[in-house]
Amino acid sequence: AQKITQTQPGMFVQEKEAVTLDCTYDTSDPSYGLFWYKQPSSGEMIFLIYQGSYDQQNATEGRYSLNFQKARKSANLVISASQLGDSAMYFCAMREGNNAGNMLTFGGGTRLMVKP
Amino acid sequence: EADIYQTPRYLVIGTGKKITLECSQTMGHDKMYWYQQDPGMELHLIHYSYGVNSTEKGDLSSESTVSRIRTEHFPLTLESARPSHTSQYLCASSDGWDTRYNEQFFGPGTRLTVL
């Protein structure tokens, strides 16, 4: 079974509008962390935001926020006021608690395209 | 800002050649990783290291090998390149004192094409 599922292969958003990128996860570990990374066409992976399974509040980092619904096992990324530079691949990843190697499992990604 | 470097950024090479992809980080991180990623697809972990003289295979089977003789250096070697090795290879590191969430920092990647 897929541990991280991103169901939207590609999405369009109008510049200055908000967009939500979906991520669902599967784990039986009560302790886990969820990460979102951005990958521009240049190839590097840029860390955006983190949500811990015990965090009481949804994470926010500037224009990025995480809609964390623990019971539904979803951790959707919300980008407010989209900019042309937000056009990129976005990956959701999970680190499960019992993980001495600090390893991540990645989803298949969503390609976001911002229209001017 | 992450200080993790990969060279070369792009490599086009013929079948059968031996290649080494370089990865270095200046953050003093103990853990390092190699991922393989086809264009627009998910990342697959192929190797990781807990520290010096430690190397482990990842979830995706790979014909490549790695070494970790120094903390900052984690090269990946293909003894005989084949067209099936054509992909992007991303190096990452983690476990520094300067991270809030113990996130992995990534290098810029090496895009390998084997003809």
pLDDT for A99 equals: 76
CB of B24 within 8 Å of a chain A CB? The answer is: no
Contact A20, A85 (CB under 8 A): no
Extract the residue ranges of chain A whose pLDDT is less than 50.
Answer: none
- Mean pLDDT, range B53-76, rounded to an integer: 93
Contact B51, B70 (CB under 8 A): no
- Give how far Cα B107 sits from Cα of A29, B16, B22, B76, Å: 29, 26, 10, 14
**Is residue B115's pLDDT more than 80?**
yes
Closest CA to A112 of A7, A9, A16: A9
Under 8 Å CB pairs connecting chains A and B tally to: 56
DSSP, res A97: S
Name the residue among B40, B50, B106 with its Cβ closest to that of A45.
B106
Mutation test of the interface with chain A: which of B5, B32, B34, B42, choosing the one with the most A Cβ atoms within 10 A? B42
Cα A110 from Cα A23, distance rounded (Å): 10
Cα B36 from Cα B16, distance rounded (Å): 19
- Interchain pair A102, B100: CB under 8 A: no
What SS3 state is found at A10?
A: strand
Query: DSSP letters of A23-83?
Result: -EE----SSEEEEEEEE-TT---EEEEEEETT-SS--EETTEEEEEETTTTEEEEEE-S--
- Confidence label for B62 from pLDDT (cuts 50, 70 and 90): confident
Q: Is the peptide bond before B8 cis (omega within 30 degrees of 0)?
A: yes
Cα A105 from Cα B45, distance rounded (Å): 8
pLDDT for B114 equals: 96
Each residue of B67-111: pLDDT tens digit? 999 999 999 999 999 999 999 999 999 986 667 788 999 999 999
Each residue of A56-68: pLDDT tens digit? 999 999 999 999 9
DSSP, res B104: P
- Confidence label for B59 from pLDDT (cuts 50, 70 and 90): confident
Phi, psi of A4 (to 5 degrees): -125, 125
Closest CA to A23 of A1, A4, A51, A44: A4
CB of A44 within 8 Å of a chain B CB? The answer is: yes
pLDDT for B107 equals: 96
Closest CA to A33 of A94, A112, A109: A94
pLDDT for A71 equals: 94
**Is residue B1's pLDDT more than 60?**
no
- Confidence label for B2 from pLDDT (cuts 50, 70 and 90): low
A93 CB-side CA count, 13 A = 25
Each residue of B4-54: pLDDT tens digit? 999 999 999 999 999 999 999 998 899 999 999 998 899 999 999 999 999
